[in-house]
Structure 1
């Protein structure tokens, strides 16, 4: 990271969210200061992905606030988004563009001008060194996912990474490379918040890592109606 980490902190303050007539969580609170890795845990349907979307501003909570550097992200808007990288379930790649073109465009959209060798290196680190000039329409779903993840390796200047199942569809070497990038980002003062069903070893001291069990904030009852799923 090239930015100062002074006063950088992402905080969820008493969040409440209802989806499909079901109250997923209430009073959800945690703090991620600079240099912190946060894993969101909990069974399927407890609201982990919804929480990630709240943290990116793509959704709004029914109650509570998300604060960045002490200010609500809903008022910061672009001042927050310029510091954010989000990789969700959707890959966000264009099938008619090559792998390297997709990473280049994604970087530019984040105001990052990456050199060609940096783009190549990013794709090699996710195991796509032999597919750099292939259009993503030629690639498998797993390979398209890797194209999306390659963006992280050219986004080291962005303080906040929000990642939904980033290790899915990666081979052993690519998992190790991504885990190393995440750890280095945190050591440099970045904030990484992610979900995963895989056990991935992170080379970080315990005080840099925390787990937030989203299910522990579930109210245990329906708001109204039955048979709804998150």
Structure 2
């Protein structure tokens, strides 16, 4: 007879998580968790392993040690794909598709929230009128906004945001803050990396600091 799961478990929990490259430790061992309704802010200097950590959590890199649980169970590819949405430094767009075609393609891969549409997401991020623009014709800031629209469409409850304010003006920074606030109000969570150049989202936040390894 199996024991019931605890009534309250975090969306994601890491225990003694570590990663090394060329036999040099990048980070770890780390212990942390991310719960529904909160943001975990990951700070550290360049080279401290912030991006690497998010790529490990997203399943793009394999950890060298430790464990990752999704909703109280050992992380498996299907559960991770359903729970995590990753926004990295690269826009992850197909250059010769239009903005709307990119969102439709990505929604087909990752699913989308039933209450949202690609056109509506573009309006949310301030790209209404750019539906037929090719992704390669967009500026860096517009590509970032299109990536944010893809994030807004995602049904995944945990957002992994790697320097989400980069390439955005003040209006774009406020947009990210509003999106994170709305996502947390709906029971989602976010893990946000920053090197300290930008303010954290104005939400319930805990801090995880990574130290650059010698």
Q: Which TM-score band (shorter chain)?
A: 0.7 to 0.9
Q: How far apart are residue 203 of structure 1 and its match?
A: 3.4
Which residue does the alignment assign to 1:134?
Answer: 133
Q: How far apart are residue 94 of structure 1 and its match?
A: 0.8
Structure 2 SS opposite 1:82: helix
Q: TM-score, normalised by structure 1?
A: 0.81
Which residue does the alignment assign to 2:152?
Answer: 153
How many residues in Structure 1 have an aligned counterpart in Structure 2? Answer: 207
Q: How far apart are residue 201 of structure 1 and its match?
A: 5.2
Which residue does the alignment assign to 1:224?
Answer: none
Which residue does the alignment assign to 2:206?
Answer: 210
Alignment equivalent of 1:66, drawn from 57, 65, 68: 68
Which residue does the alignment assign to 1:176?
Answer: 174
Q: Deviations over 1:152-211 (max 9, x none)?
A: 2222x321111111111122222212211111211222121111344235332xxx3111
Counterparts of 1:45-60 in structure 2 under 5 Å?
45-60=47-62
Q: Deviations over 1:17-50 (max 9, x none)?
A: 1123321222211111221201110000010000
Counterparts of 1:162-201 in structure 2 under 5 Å?
162-197=160-195, 198-200=197-199
Q: Deviations over 1:50-86 (max 9, x none)?
A: 000111111111111111112221xx21122112211
In 1: Cα distance, 2:140 partner to 2:202 partner: 29
* Runs of 5+ unmatched residues, structure 1: 222-230
* Runs of 5+ unmatched residues, structure 2: 1-6
**Contact 2:165/2:198 (8 A) holds in 1:** no
**Contact 2:85/2:158 (8 A) holds in 1:** yes
Which residue does the alignment assign to 1:38?
Answer: 40
Deviates more, 1:132-141 or 1:45-54: 132-141
In 1: Cα distance, 2:33 partner to 2:10 partner: 11
Deviates more, 1:165-174 or 1:122-131: 122-131
Q: Deviations over 1:86-137 (max 9, x none)?
A: 111221111111111111221221122768x832332233332232211112
In 1: Cα distance, 2:97 partner to 2:114 partner: 17
**Contact 1:159/1:189 (8 A) holds in 2:** yes
The CA RMSD over aligned residues, in Å, is 2.2
In 2: Cα distance, 1:15 partner to 1:53 partner: 13
In 1: Cα distance, 2:175 partner to 2:120 partner: 11
